[in-house]
Structure 1
Amino acid sequence: MAQPKTAVVRSDLDIVIARTMARDLAKAMSFGAIDQARIATAVSELARNIFLYAGTGKVTVKEIDKGGRKGIEIVCEDQGPGIPDVDLVMQDGYSTSRGMGMGLPGARRLMDEFELKSQEGVGTKITCRKWKSS
């Protein structure tokens, strides 16, 4: 298994770098084109949130194997202000940036597993996984 790869997110360009890094790993793991696009889109949304709300953070992607089941894991972490109401931000249509509100709920739908931990004044950590179809 390849070593995890990390992209530091501080700018719009870093969002593209994180997205490309995740797509490249998914491609190397032989995920289909649709799943590659889903993974890249989810990473784009999550990295964009790091940049918009925390200013800086990191995205780490790695290959995972759970009992012979192969997948990709993405961990997005920041030391930003945290999310005061996680249930609220996970609702479809909710937006703090006057956007379409597809960010976190959309990323959750694109992935097979999605876990969000956030603490006000400490930061946010999102771990999501996509498993290869057998």
Structure 2
Amino acid sequence: MASHHPIGSEEDLLTARHAVRTATLEAGFALVDQTRIVTAASELVRNAYIHGGGGTLTIELIRQADKRGLRLTVTDDGPGISDLDAAFADGYTTGTGLGHGLGGARRLMDDFHIHTAEGQGTTIIATRWTTQP
């Protein structure tokens, strides 16, 4: 089951956060993990909006063996990320933020994959797993 959410306005950022929070509850995540996932999602959708000119958030509840998870896929058609190593480095920023964005989001999730190319946009797939019943 997947839900798709546009990222094209400030209002969409709030809607995306609420949708992710709801999905964490449905998946049975504990409060600390809910907060981690929503924080990572917030950073990723904000980056897609600010740096990618907007995009889409897809939220999927997934199962693998004895665990459940929540997969977030954030896609934009922006300029892409020219230097991934720099983008993941703490303190690196292309705007007014603190520079913990991508690296922080990656640390908050269990699996984190990024596909980007200059002039071709960015897709990030981030998953958090739970073994709670």
Q: TM class, shorter-chain normalised?
A: over 0.9
Counterpart-to-counterpart distance in 2, 1:18 and 1:98: 22
**Aligned-pair CA distance for 1:31:** 0.5
2:90 is matched with 92
Q: What's the % identity of the aligned pairs?
A: 39
Instruction: Report the 3-state secondary structure (helix = DSSP H, G, I; strand = E; otherwise coil) of the residue aligned with 2:35.
Output: helix
Which segments of structure 1 move beyond 3 Å, counting only runs of 4 or more? none
| d(CA) in 1 for partners of 2:27, 2:121 | 31
- CA contact 2:60–2:70 (8 Å) conserved in 1: yes
| CA displacement at 1:133 relative to structure 2 | 3.4
Amino acid at match of 2:79: P
Match of 2:14 in 1: 16
CA deviation after TM superposition for structure 1 residue 111, in Å: 0.6
Considering only aligned residues, what root-mean-square deviation do their CA atoms show, in Å? 0.9
Given the alignment of the two structures, is residue 77 of structure 1 paired with residue 93 of structure 2, yes or no?
Answer: no
Contact 2:66–2:131 (CA<8 Å) still a contact in 1? no
TM-score norm. by structure 1 comes to: 0.95
Unaligned 5+ runs, structure 1:
none
Q: TM-score, normalized by length of structure 2?
A: 0.95
Distance 2:63 2:27 in 1: 12
Unaligned runs of 5+ in 2: none
Q: Secondary structure at the match of 2:85?
A: helix
Alpha-carbon separation, structure 2, partners of 1:30 and 1:90 = 29
Matched to 2:130, the amino acid is: K
Q: Shift of the alpha carbon at 1:49?
A: 0.3
How many residues are paired up? 132
Secondary structure, counterpart of 1:96 in structure 2: coil
